[in-house]
Amino acid sequence: MSVKRLVRVNQLIKQEVAEALYRVMNDKGFDLSAVTVTRVLTGSDLRTARVMVSIRDHEAERTRMLRQLEHRRGEIQEIVHRRIVLKYTPRLSFELDTSIETGDRVLQIISEMERKPPAGAEAGTEKGNDGRPA
């Protein structure tokens, strides 16, 4: 299978899974607004697809939320099967993706570094380009 086709299939499955979540995941205690489908990695034979999801602000409940997604996997997979015409409908599996949180943490560190004065520089003693106090 060509790489371009696999990329298109991954994107299409990602979109359909994200839409299917809103139809299927209506359990009490499941904060769907915290769940983002970040990417889908489909096997080259189209038999399996790893659905990477990010769950924000629910560190203590992530395992439970992933289990709920996995429990409803069949319903989500059925919706994908009805909406996407493929020779095989991939078997979905859900995995936690922490890349968004990692990126947020890196941005937070950079922001903190920009706010701190450089080492050795004291407040009020900074000089302009011409050597005179600013």
Entry field: residues in the chain:
134
End-to-end alpha carbon distance in the chain: 64
CATH number of 3-115: 3.30.300.20
- Residues 123, 129, 134: CA angle, nearest 5 degrees: 35
Q: What is the pTM of this model?
A: 0.74
Contacts 24+ apart (CB under 8 A), 98-106: 98/54, 99/38, 99/54, 100/36, 100/38, 100/54, 100/56, 101/54, 101/56
At 59-114, the pLDDT tens digits run: 788 888 899 899 999 999 999 999 998 888 899 999 998 888 888 889 889 988 88
At 22-38, the pLDDT tens digits run: 888 887 778 888 888 99
At 2-58, the pLDDT tens digits run: 889 899 999 999 999 999 998 888 877 788 888 889 999 999 888 999 999 998 887
Residue 121 CA to residue 123 CA, distance in Å, equals: 7
Residue 8's Cβ-side half-sphere holds a number of Cα atoms within 13 Å equal to 8
